[in-house]
Amino acid sequence: MHGIGNDYIYFDCLDEPFENPNEASVRLSDRHFGIGGDGIVLICPSEVADAKMRMFNADGSEGKMCGNAIRCVGKYLYDSGRVKKTALSIETLSGIKTLQLHIGEDGKTETVKVDMGAPVLDPKEIPVSLEADENGRVVARKTEIAGGMAEITCVSMGNPHCVIFTDPDALELEKIGPAHENAPIFPDRVNTEFVKVLGKNDLKMRVWERGSGETWACGTGACATAVAAVLNGHANRNEDIKVKLLGGELVIRWTEDTVLMTGPATLVFQGEIEI
């Protein structure tokens, strides 16, 4: 399944466990010698929610949260009949997330709205080893990074993000992406969003994800970008913010309490593989 091009291989683990997911993610995510994807996602039983999501990047590292993947998890649970309701709760390493499914005329899930929780802006919690400003944040901070200077805004949406307002189309992301991901100021590595402001509440972004490289979309990255846009005066709080990615568009709203993300979830194919 994919969420606007951010594709993962999903495994139904509700009835049986999945062994060695780190190793399997590396092998299966290879687009030439495996199934191909940005990683794998395990849909597991949960004692505190309708299901638990575990996601592994293409390099085998486990991520805490993926906004595009969690929409697909919700779609699978409903469309397969595993859960027969349109309001779901999914356990992740970033806490329990609530989903609201929109069902199409064919009875299948078309779009999903996810309550992604409040953004984390304290640099110690993101984490980023920069001093907080007077508001306890890192916003438009001129910083030496990846061999140059950039104004960075740091946000965590369950995983760390570095947002830079620039022209994403002018960048050679394969060259500069790894340097951003592994910059010393980010002890847990970082996802970096390169963002162009098209208009008020209208953004275009490319993303370099830690552990996966450039992906067609990043849900938590779109949320972090929307929050950063508000903090930098490019968008308004409590209003819908359109974020255009390589694979499509997400709608983000930063309310007083939380960040809401709405977008599609798409099934590509189903099958069996011997692990």
| 133, 171, 196 from 199: Cα distances, Å | 27, 21, 9
Q: Parse the chain into domains and list their residue ranges.
A: 2-117, 141-256
Asked whether the predicted pLDDT for residue 161 surpasses 90, the reply is yes
Task: Show which residues are catalytic.
Answer: 66, 218
Average pLDDT, the chain: 97
Instruction: For domain 141-256, give the fold.
Output: Diaminopimelate Epimerase; Chain A, domain 1 (3.10.310)
pLDDT at 275: 85
Segment 27-44, tens digit of pLDDT: 999 999 999 999 999 999
Segment 42-68, tens digit of pLDDT: 999 999 999 999 999 999 999 999 999
Segment 128-150, tens digit of pLDDT: 999 999 999 999 999 999 999 99
Asked whether the predicted pLDDT for residue 261 surpasses 90, the reply is yes
CA angle 93–67–91, rounded 5-degree value: 35
pLDDT at 217: 94
Segment 238-255, tens digit of pLDDT: 999 999 999 999 999 999
- Do 141-256 and 2-117 have the same topology in CATH? yes
Instruction: For domain 2-117, give the fold.
Output: Diaminopimelate Epimerase; Chain A, domain 1 (3.10.310)
pLDDT at 75: 98
